[in-house]
A and B are shown apart, each in its own frame.
Chain A
Amino acid sequence: MNHIWKFLTSLRLTVACLAFGIVLVWVGTIAQADEGLYIAQERYFKQWWVVGIHLFGKHLPIALPGGYLIGVVLLVNLVTAHIKRFQWGWKKVGIHLTHAGIVVMLVGQLFTDMSQVESHLRFGEGETKNYTESHQEHELIFVRDVDGGKEEVVAIPEKMIDGKGATLALPLPAKPNAFEVRVKDYGINSQIRQRAPMMDKGEPPATQGSGAKATVVPQPEAKSMDARNLPFAVIEVVPRGAPESKTPQTWLVSPWLMDQEMEIDGQKYRVGFRSTRYYFGQDLGNEPFQMSLIKTTHEVYPGTATATNPQGIPKNFQSRVQLENAAASEKREVDIFMNNPLRYQGLTFYQYQMGRDEMDTARGTSTLQVVRNPSWLAPYIGCIIVGIGMTWQFMYHLVGFVRKRTAQPLPA
């Protein structure tokens, strides 16, 4: 026990953690060139251990502690060392505050990492939405219309079906334990197009729906910031435990395709594979609300359009939206632009992109980045505490030094 205590409180552990942290940040940053930002974040920083790294296009069989491990060990080390070496005195208050601020930042970052959800809200002028969509994650959905103008949704995350041969229960509210989904094929990224008689002579990817007339071209995983994966899956819905059929009724699902109508146990469902949706108010237990895009404003600096940059240099992207919360009798218009996000119900809406509707170029579209981060205040509080601590420490020594100087007799 004593050895553990000594190990946890040792300064060597602190130095080792900081050293590993520097290496990890460097490796994770360089690896983004090969693996892309999001994958690098997942592989290096949101991990306990990193096994195998990519540097300059080469795979190296090296193991490193991941971001979680370094962060947690550093946190425990900081707290235990503080306990062991704690000494009260006005002289030490600054140091205590500085360490407390760092603890707040570390814990806050941990909770941010755990609880933050980033998504996008993309709509055209005149369009109203009550949900945002994930940029990276997808879900397989089975949707059935129910009374009251509502729809019942069963959403299965992509991570549960991301492998051939996966089988999982399909908890339809009408028959929770009666059916299961069998994944016949899956690809993390794809292109899907209509079958061309001259080019596609093999079997279609699925026997039912759009898949019977489509061709899937698997693509490598998207790694750049401005690209996204468009996965596909070939699925079969059968009664639970049913034997494998020689003529399975398979469906191709993908964000490329519109929702398709499927009949399960006499009920009509729409099946699709779409970006994961987060409905306003649903996840946090708040009142549901909706947002409409009224007008987009895209200003460029006059005279900056060139042959290579015909759009010119952007000056201002601005979205005027109408926020409507019926439960709270709230209906107001808000302007969202750079450095002026909208904060509402724990969500922060930032102006992200602006464009034109592909089918109607006279119509403006806007994309807002929506961030849900319950611990967004933690870094601010942490920084304030650290600032106060450092100021205290500096001033304490400065005052002591000045007093000492003034107490000395002036030379004759």
Chain B
Amino acid sequence: MREQVLCQTEKARIGVRVCRAKEAMCNRIVCALEKPMAPCPFFGYCSCPLSMIRPIFPVATALCSAVTVLILSGCEKPQIRVYTVAKEAPPATPAPAAAATKTAPERAERPRPQVTYTLPAGWEEQAGNSLSLVNFVIKSDAGEATVNITPLAGMQGREAAIVNMWRSQVGQPALNDQEVASSFTAVEIAGGSGQLFEVTGAREGDNLRIVTAFAHRGDDSWFYKLQGNEAVVAAQKPAFLEFLKSVRIKEGSGSAETTAAPEPTKPTPKWTVPGEWQTLKPGQMQIAKFAVPAVDKAQAEVAVSVFPSDTGGTLANVNRWRRQLGLDDTDEAGLKECAQPIEGVPGAELVELANGEKRMLSAIVPREGTWWFYKMMGDAPAVNAARESFVQFVQSMP
């Protein structure tokens, strides 16, 4: 047999160093390698104490390589996972230990910042949203522009990201940090100092311009953004700069108070709330909120806000309310049809609006340099039923 012959040849060559116990294995390997002379690299240690591991090496090598290739080729294949897990807990609440820390009570009671300002002519206030505290819209024959005030936490040092996000909106390439820093100009904001930058570009065929001012206050960064049609923004920029100067921010806690300008004291209402009304938590820019009694399933709420100006005048406010009800804007003639004075309250106007099942009853009351806005809005049956108590509520405060 070829195998035996080869092995014998090899044995003869290496003499007594051959391990007889491993002879069969040596034969197999020799033949597998098909090399008659010096075929087996293992002969040299057949007599050593480690000879038992000799046959394992080639097998291990082959296995190792095969497994490696299999792993490398078999992994990374994404697969759809289907599983069942416990539902995620509702949004976090402070743990007992955390609640005991110094900041916990502040955290729980921290109110939303209150913003006051002098409203430029032609600006119409709109409701805030989850991000912006205050929104305005400016309409002209040339087009539209908007203004909003947004406080964001943790933005200090990330100005470049903000600038480049705005730039991407109008199709402009990103700037590096140095270019961003050089694009800033100093501006007065809320009695303190801030920075301003502008972005101009086009989107969907329209020339757009974004003027953004920002100031850091404690951990927060406040962004004031005027954006829209380029011609409108250019025309409104001087008014925007004046608006920035007039802004005052009152925060409940935190270091921001240190940079805030002196603030008028929050008015303390001395009114008589109808007994059947239910007090609710006031929303942004509201000093009080109530639910009036429901009629069947019809519901309505009353909200009261106080501003240092008439926020654009009666017509601007009425048109804003009309849009909230889905109605078109009206003019001075239309205003006379829906507004009437309130008996016993000098200068006050009562405005009644309705669209289908929705109804709104509003009162604008000037009091000692401030303007009080009362608004009852909801389903028509509930608003109608509470009309008298609403008027008495407005009249109850001197």
Name A's B-contacting residues (CB within 8 A). 1-2, 5, 48, 68, 72, 75-76, 79-80, 82-88, 107, 110-111, 114, 123-128, 130-131, 139, 145-146, 149-157, 159-160, 168, 171, 173, 191, 193, 196-202, 217, 219, 279, 282, 288, 292-295, 310, 320, 322, 355-363
Contacts and interface: CB of A to CB of B under 8 A. Distances in A.
A126 B95 contact: yes
Interface string B201-242: 001101010000000001110000000110000000000000
B167 to A, nearest CB: 11
A308 B57 CA distance: 62
Given A79-B61, A153-B85, A160-B78, A361 B208 contact: no
A132 to B, nearest CB: 13
Nearest to A126: B94
A155 to B, nearest CB: 5
B72 A114 contact: yes
29 contacts: A1-B33, A75-B64, A79-B57, A82-B57, A86-B41, A86-B45, A114-B72, A123-B92, A126-B99, A130-B85, A146-B84, A149-B86, A152-B82, A152-B84, A154-B80, A155-B81, A159-B78, A191-B168, A196-B146, A199-B203, A200-B203, A294-B97, A295-B98, A356-B154, A357-B153, A358-B152, A358-B154, A359-B153, A360-B107
A283 to B, nearest CB: 9
A126 to B, nearest CB: 4
A91 B81 CA distance: 55
B42 interface: yes
Contacts of B69: 72
Contact of B206 (A76, A198, A295): A198
B387 interface: no
Interface in B99-141: 99, 101, 103, 106-107, 110
A373 B86 CA distance: 26
Given A1-B33, A150-B86, A282-B85, A80 B92 contact: no
Contacts of A128: 89, 92
B185 interface: no
A155 B48 contact: no
B35 interface: yes
Which 5 interchain pairs have the tightest Cβ spacing?
A127-B92, A157-B78, A126-B94, A361-B219, A362-B107
A217 B168 contact: yes
Contact of A80 (B61, B93, B203): B61
A86 B42 contact: yes
Contact of A83 (B61, B92, B99, B219): B61
A378 to B, nearest CB: 14
A125 B87 contact: no
Interface string B249-276: 0000110000000000000000000000
Given A79-B61, A125-B98, A151 B85 contact: yes
B355 interface: no
Contacts of A157: 78-80
Given A171-B80, A200-B204, A360 B58 contact: no
A130 B86 CA distance: 9
Given A126-B95, A150-B84, A279-B83, 19 more contacts: A68-B72, A75-B65, A83-B41, A83-B42, A86-B41, A88-B45, A130-B85, A131-B85, A146-B84, A149-B86, A151-B85, A151-B87, A153-B81, A160-B80, A171-B80, A282-B85, A294-B97, A361-B220, A362-B103
B229 A2 contact: no
Q: A interface, by DSSP: helix, strand, loop or mixed?
A: mixed
Contacts of A139: 81
Contacts of A145: 87
Contact of A292 (B32, B50, B95): B95
A87 B45 contact: yes
B3 interface: no
Interface residues of B, number: 66
A363 B107 contact: yes
A383 B143 CA distance: 71
Given A151-B87, A358-B152, A156 B35 contact: no
B396 interface: no
Contacts of A219: 168
A114 B44 contact: no
Given A127-B92, A361-B153, A150 B87 contact: yes
B389 interface: no
From A294, A359, A362, residue with most partner B Cβ within 10 Å: A362
A243 B267 CA distance: 65
Contacts of A191: 165, 168
Given A145-B87, A356-B219, A114 B34 contact: no
B75 interface: yes
Nearest to A169: B80
A279 B85 contact: yes
Contacts of B80: 154-157, 160, 168, 171
A282 B50 CA distance: 43
Interface string B138-178: 00000111100000111010000000010011000000000
B68 interface: yes
A76 B65 contact: yes
Nearest to A48: B72
B85 A150 contact: yes
B16 interface: no
Contact of A86 (B44, B219, B229): B44
Interface in B40-58: 41-42, 44-45, 48, 50, 57-58
Contacts of A193: 169
Contacts of B48: 88
Contacts of B333: none
B71 interface: yes
Nearest to B218: A361
Given A88-B44, A359-B153, A114 B75 contact: yes
